[in-house]
Chain A
């Protein structure tokens, strides 16, 4: 049986890796385009929303992959998310408090910089859980 991580990293027949690649490509493409001047607000909004269909595709295939995984793999995914979720909450809460305490520069700490931490926490949890059951 194929490991979910293989699917996520595009090493299997699934489309999760492809969908994630397309989504991230569109995201960074949108970010680059939004740095350009002279675009109307409607065009800028359309560019900002462009990655959403790819994300929906990624989400659908990810959920299908988890549903199709065996019981240990589902346990590992649950443990990875059980690490990622509270750590993300902790990060957001701490940044919220810091924002009150000191003048955080939003160019450094806006949402566009924070969301990748969720991935970092998820992969930390995934490695921890995978090592545990090796």
Chain B
């Protein structure tokens, strides 16, 4: 999964620590999400989206391979 978290943070001029503080998670968690090493849980993704004032899918989206896999497995 890919995300626009870094862009969202840059638009507001927030540091990773500030965003982490606002979400009640560690800075390491924000960094791991931004670098794509960790996919957040749905509640955390929704919290981030609420903070950004955007729908979840505007911030988090599947990459091409995952989209293809999702299409193949669709009934």
Contact = CB atoms under 8 A, between A and B. Distances in A.
| Count class of interface residues, chain B | 10 to 19
Contact of B25 (A1, A132, A134): A1
Interface stretch (A8-16, A38-46, A66-74): A66-74
Given A1-B20, A71-B44, A72-B32, A133 B26 contact: no
Interface residues of A, number: 10
B1 to A, nearest CB: 15
A132 B29 CA distance: 12
B24 A132 contact: no
Contacts of A71: 25, 29, 40-41, 44
B34 to A, nearest CB: 12
A57 to B, nearest CB: 25
Contacts of A134: 28, 31-32
A3 interface: yes
Contacts of B29: 70-73
Interface of A: 1, 3, 70-73, 75, 132-134
